[in-house]
Amino acid sequence: MDYVDLRSDTVTKPTPEMREAMAEAEVGDDVYMDDPTVNKLQIRAADLLGKEDSLFVPSGTMGNLLALLVHCQRGDEVIVGDKSHIYMNEAGGMSALGGIYPHPIRNQPDGSLSLEEIRASIQTEDVHHTITRLICIENTQNVCGGLPLSVEYTRQVGRIAKDNGLYFHIDGARIFNAAAALSVPAKDLAAPADSIMFCLSKGLAAPVGSMLVGNQKFIARARHLRKMLGGGMRQAGVLAAAGMISLERMTRRLGEDHARARKLSEGLKQVTGLVLDPGSASTNMVYFNLKDEVRLSVDQIVDEMRKRGILVDWAGPRRFRLVTHFWVDDAGVEKTVRAFSEILK
Ligand SMILES: *Cc1c(COP(=O)(O)O)cnc(C)c1O
């Protein structure tokens, strides 16, 4: 059965065009920096984000970890959102592997970190304190609803970082979704930051990989640490070939996923028992809660959906997140709305 898979945009399989490009990719040993396809991808990614250089990494988690390890020394402190992927979903890598100390502050309902709270969180010089070294934001902010953070907001965070001699990293796993939603070039969203990571393997539909982007010195150090972590890949051009199509083609079509998310959100609003988040479908994510009157558990709903050929994941004891992507079409959206209506009626 061909499932409508709304669990995440990470489930995207490579497109036929990607598979063809992968089969024909020119390759070399990328640890020797000899893989022409990887080199091309790295130049193109740096160019799109308006930075000097970039590095192809196996995952977004490794990309973020490398940024943390390059910017921070052991014992340094990082200001992060309490609902950020770096804080919640990267297995504590910064602490376990880098001896880096997270300073979580609340993500606001709009996904941002309050500028006042960032300022107030910067440690003063005192032998008792850790040394604040880095600010991280996430764009789009996944857990808050896939919400895009504006160019203006990002500039303000960049200003705080500069004024206080701090580095600034963006977890931009879905930065091209933010760019599409805001109708701005991704490089405008990256400009205030020292480094940015984005995923090829999510809405951009590549099978594997993320890009870490920054200046030459930063990337040179990140390349060294990538090898240390075991992330030096050999004929990675096979993967980079798909990544090139992500950059050239898939970045341009994300608006379609956002339109389908809106359509899904509109449809689900009509279903009794569901309460959509106010920011639902700001990009490719639809978040909603079950009303108290709904007797079914989220697990029962997941099972009922699966029986109807639809894969969904719950995001909390009474909460769902549905994600649109390249492999979800209009028929899939309609089928999903119908299934929820049936199950909850
Ligand atoms: C998916 C994701 C990552 C990590 O990417 P992986 O490739 O799964 O390691 C980082 N940040 C955010 C916001 C993500 O959604």
CA distance 68 to 256: 33
pLDDT at 1: 66
Instruction: Enter the tokens of residue 298.
Output: 């989220």
| Confidence grade of residue 11 (pLDDT, cut at 50, 70, 90) | very high
pTM, two decimal places: 0.98
At residue 3's C-alpha, the angle toward residues 266 and 284, to 5°, is: 40
78: CATH: 3.40.640.10
Considering the domain architecture, whether residues 289 and 205 belong to the same structural domain is answered as: no
- Rounded average pLDDT over 325-345: 97
The number of domains in the chain is 2
pLDDT in tens, 158-175: 999 999 999 999 999 999
With a 6 Å cutoff on the Cβ, whether 199 touches ligand 1 is: yes
CA distance 106 to 64: 20
Considering the domain architecture, whether residues 145 and 48 belong to the same structural domain is answered as: yes
Considering the domain architecture, whether residues 182 and 323 belong to the same structural domain is answered as: no
Domain boundary among 190, 219, 251: 251
Domain boundary among 215, 232, 251: 251
What is the domain extent for residue 281?
4-10+253-344
pLDDT at 99: 98
Pocket probe for ligand 1: among 9, 83, 85, 239, the residue whose CB has the most ligand atoms within 8 Å is 85
Average pLDDT, the chain: 97
Other Cβ atoms less than 10 A from the Cβ of 15: the count is 18
Q: Are strands 4-5 and 131-138 parallel, antiparallel or unpaired?
A: unpaired
With a 6 Å cutoff on the Cβ, whether 132 touches ligand 1 is: no
Of the candidates 18, 42, 22, 19, the one whose C-alpha atom is nearest the C-alpha of residue 30 is 42
pLDDT in tens, 105-138: 999 999 999 999 999 999 999 999 999 999 999 9
pLDDT at 143: 97
Q: Are 149 and 108 in contact (CB under 8 A)?
A: no
- Rounded average pLDDT over 196-223: 98
pLDDT in tens, 135-152: 999 999 999 999 999 999
Instruction: Say how many Å lie between the CA of residue 292 and the centre of ligand 1.
Output: 32
